[in-house]
């Protein structure tokens, strides 16, 4: 013996037909034409607004459908809409070239709401019974079904029922917008006389929403020379100078930049031993970044005059800060400096471009015996 559970439809639907508008906000439910299963009334227009929480979509299907047929559904019809777009228009009892019926079709809203409009005209000669529809909330997998770029996570997207959250790779921090991954990049000071610095992950896309500060500091007396890599890619704007991302350089009282776009700034020669490189990125873009090689060059000292019978090491065409020269004499001679004979004597190129001492003289080694 088969048992059948009777379908109980909400009394609310039948009682508020005169209001012309019903709002449904449960996670699931049913709706039907007025008076169902009796024939629906003439000259009736009734709309159901169905909404579920954000992070869900509405799925709608019909278990019964029996409306007056008409060309392009111009008499009686059911129209399903969402966000101003018609998702479906149904009428009749059977599918024809000009009439569509729901059959087994499932309609899904693009977001968390849809509306169903039922309309009947002035006649219902064959007394059509109307329709029964059912809706339910279904979870949106934002991490795989996203269609809006605003929903994208920088690194990792994790879906849960009713929403999603973002996380970042090791070494990155989640921005306050909970989607962008940024970095802390304003710590170290470069003190070596040569080195390389670059945007994080170069030549892969650099982090968004980051403010990076790089400081190069070498000994007083050196001047820093910066060489940008030819591969340079920083987000720009066709009409405004670097409003989004940029590289800016400060050296003493001089400023260089801001730089952006795809044209490398090339070589920047400074007159300072301290340089600050600031890199700013906003919350969008997938540009590849930049790299700088730097070297420190010292103040130049003049090539010294070599006294008679003296030898120097090393012999160079130019000398810079921190270079030194070792003076010796030819065989049979000795260095004389401040009344003292020496085997060798060193002078150093100083930060101001001068030598630490005048070259000594070379005297014959038997001169003191005379």
Region 161-184 average pLDDT? 89
Give yes or no for a contact between 78 and 66, defined as CB atoms under 8 angstroms apart: no
**pLDDT given for residue 10 in this prediction:** 40
pLDDT band at 81 (very low <50, low <70, confident <90, very high): very high
Please give the helix or strand (H or E) that residue 131 lies within, else none.
strand 130-139
Give yes or no for a contact between 126 and 134, defined as CB atoms under 8 angstroms apart: no
pLDDT band at 150 (very low <50, low <70, confident <90, very high): low
Structure tokens at 231: 């591969």
- Convert the pLDDT of each residue in 19-75 to its tens digit: 488 999 999 999 999 999 999 999 999 999 999 999 899 999 999 999 999 999 999
- Convert the pLDDT of each residue in 292-328 to its tens digit: 999 998 888 999 989 999 999 999 988 988 899 999 9
Region 121-136 average pLDDT? 90
Closest CA to 16 of 49, 60, 38: 49
Give one word for 126, left, alpha or beta, with left for phi > 0 and alpha for psi -120 to 50: alpha
pLDDT band at 367 (very low <50, low <70, confident <90, very high): low
Higher-pLDDT residue of 221 and 294 is 294
Give yes or no for a contact between 73 and 88, defined as CB atoms under 8 angstroms apart: no
* Domains annotated on the chain, with CATH: 11-139 (2.60.120.290), 142-181 (2.10.25.10), 188-298 (2.60.120.290), 300-369 (2.10.70.10)
Q: Which residues pair with 91 in a beta bridge?
A: none
- The alpha carbon of residue 316 and the mean position of all alpha carbons in its chain are separated, in whole angstroms, by 51
Distance CA 51, CA 82 (A): 10
% of the chain surpassing 70 pLDDT = 92
User: Residue 145: is its pLDDT beyond 80?
Assistant: no
% of the chain surpassing 90 pLDDT = 65
For the chain, the 3-state helix, strand and coil shares in percent, each to the nearest 5, are 5, 45, 50
**pLDDT given for residue 20 in this prediction:** 82
Distance CA 237, CA 12 (A): 57
**pLDDT given for residue 146 in this prediction:** 58
The DSSP result for 185-206, as a single string, is ----EE-SSEEEEESTTTTSPP
The DSSP result for 73-123, as a single string, is G-SSEEEEEETTEEEEEE-SSS--SS----TT--EE-SSSEEEEEEEE-S-
**Cis (ω within 30 of 0) for the bond into 38?**
no
Place of tokens 């710590």: 187
**Distance between start and end Cα atoms, the chain:** 144
Distance CA 293, CA 252 (A): 19
- Convert the pLDDT of each residue in 333-354 to its tens digit: 999 888 888 889 999 998 888 9
């Amino acid at each position: 013996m088969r048992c059948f559970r009777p379908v109980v439809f909400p009394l609310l639907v039948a009682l508020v037909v005169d209001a012309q508008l019903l709002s449904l906000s449960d996670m699931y439910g049913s709706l039907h034409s007025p008076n169902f299963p009796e024939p629906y009334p003439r000259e009736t227009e009734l709309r159901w607004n169905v909404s579920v929480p954000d992070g869900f979509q509405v799925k709608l299907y019909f278990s019964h459908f029996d409306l007056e047929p008409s060309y392009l559904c111009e008499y009686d019809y059911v129209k399903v809409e969402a966000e101003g777009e018609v998702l479906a228009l149904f009428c009749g009892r059977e599918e024809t070239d000009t009439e569509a019926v729901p059959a087994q079709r499932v309609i899904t809203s693009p977001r968390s709401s849809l509306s169903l409009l039922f309309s009947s005209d002035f006649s219902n000669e064959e007394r059509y019974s109307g329709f029964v529809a059912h809706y339910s909330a279904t979870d949106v997998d934002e991490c795989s079904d996203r269609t809006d770029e605003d929903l994208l996570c920088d690194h990792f997207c994790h879906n849960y029922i009713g929403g999603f959250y973002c996380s970042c790779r090791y070494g990155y921090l989640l921005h306050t917008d909970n989607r962008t991954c940024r970095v802390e990049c304003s710590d170290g000071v470069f003190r070596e006389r040569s080195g390389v610095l670059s945007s994080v992950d170069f030549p892969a896309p650099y982090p968004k929403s980051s403010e990076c500060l790089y400081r190069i500091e070498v000994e007083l007396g050196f001047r820093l020379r910066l060489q940008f890599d030819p591969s340079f890619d920083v987000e720009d704007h066709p009409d405004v100078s670097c409003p989004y991302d940029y590289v800016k350089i400060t050296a003493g009282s001089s400023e260089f930049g801001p730089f952006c776009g795809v044209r490398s700034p090339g070589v920047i020669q400074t007159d300072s031993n301290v340089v600050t490189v600031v890199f700013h990125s906003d919350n969008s873009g997938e540009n590849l970044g930049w790299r700088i090689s730097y070297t420190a060059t010292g103040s130049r000292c003049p090539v010294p005059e070599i006294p008679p019978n003296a030898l120097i090491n090393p012999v160079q065409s130019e000398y810079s800060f921190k270079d030194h020269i070792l003076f010796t004499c030819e065989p049979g001679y000795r260095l004389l400096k401040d009344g003292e004979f020496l085997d060798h004597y060193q002078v150093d190129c100083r930060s101001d471009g001068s030598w630490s001492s005048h070259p000594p003289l070379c005297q014959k080694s038997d001169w003191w015996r005379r």
